[in-house]
Amino acid sequence: MVIIGSILDLIVLGALGRWMLPHVQRFLEAHGQVEPNYKGVSIPRGMGIMLSMLVWLQELFLTLISKAFDLLHTAQWSSFFHSIEANFRVYTLAATFIFLLGWTDDLMGSKVVKGFKGHMRYCKENGTLSMGAVKAIGTLGTAAWLVAVGRQEQTPIWQMGVGLILVTLSTNTMNLLDVRPGRSLKVFLGVSSAVFVYGCLVSGIASLFPMIPVCMGGLVLYGTDLKAKGMLGDAGAIYLDLPLVIASSR
């Protein structure tokens, strides 16, 4: 039943993603969120907002399914989906906060300030933090919260430290790859396939729910990104990391 539900979930999210794609593009263009691509053509940036919308739709679906099983008085399935929804809600909140940091960086961040030294120089010259520094601090705080929430009584401190470092570093991996059309999505979808197969064999499909909406969003956006008709932006690239880390760490 879980497998059938997951397949239906993929189909519904994929259909909604395809429907949302042109609307998101027009919305960004209408509000001036455009940037020249490598050909010098202005295209919408921040297309990663669609990933956030699909994640919240997934949260809505899981909540409705949990409530439906409550009404049907099926205790086993009700408990199962409530557990999945509770875990997914934690992921949704963390991913949304990191997305907002990336989105703000897309809107306000300087494209000139790069690297640790660049951000330190910016802070010294302007007497305030750069958006890149704010994003780094926010990501570290979110990673610490995720690790603390996911900690069990038998989890040793050193393992929590490794988890904190892993989540913090990984949230910028796809962003570093997002320098050519389609590159970050190619890597994401390739790694996702491997993690999905491993997860199904080892930890069960329930642990992979955080990946479903982002994978479908990645597939929908792939053509647009590859043809350089839209940019994921920091907000989108940073969103590709978290589900992989969470799914592979379980």
User: What pLDDT does residue 175 have?
Assistant: 65
pLDDT digits (tens, 9 = 90+) for 146-156: 767 766 555 56
DSSP letter (8 states) at residue 72: T
| Mean pLDDT, residues 206-216 taken together | 78
User: What pLDDT does residue 213 have?
Assistant: 87
Q: How far is CA 18 from CA 4, 129, 170, 209, in A?
A: 21, 38, 28, 20
Q: What is residue 161's three-state secondary structure? A: helix
Lowest mean pLDDT among 38-47, 90-99, 205-214: 205-214
The answer on pLDDT for 137 being more than 60 is: yes
The reported pTM is 0.81
Number of structural domains in the chain: 1
Q: Classify strands 34-36 and 42-44 as parallel, antiparallel or unpaired.
A: antiparallel
Alpha helix segments (H runs only) across the chain: 2-30, 49-71, 75-108, 115-126, 131-150, 157-170, 173-177, 183-202, 211-226, 233-239, 242-248
Q: What is residue 131's three-state secondary structure? A: helix
Whole domain around residue 147: which residue ranges?
1-249
DSSP letter (8 states) at residue 140: H
Alpha helix segments (H runs only) across 109-156: 115-126, 131-150
User: What pLDDT does residue 132 have?
Assistant: 73
Query: In this structure, what token pair is assigned to residue 149?
Result: 């929430």
pLDDT digits (tens, 9 = 90+) for 220-239: 988 888 888 888 877 777 77
Please answer whether residues 200 and 208 qualify as being in contact, where contact means their C-beta atoms are separated by less than 8 angstroms. yes
pLDDT digits (tens, 9 = 90+) for 20-69: 999 999 999 998 888 888 778 888 988 888 988 998 998 888 888 888 88
Q: What is residue 34's three-state secondary structure? A: strand
Lowest mean pLDDT among 93-102, 117-126, 182-191, 240-249: 240-249
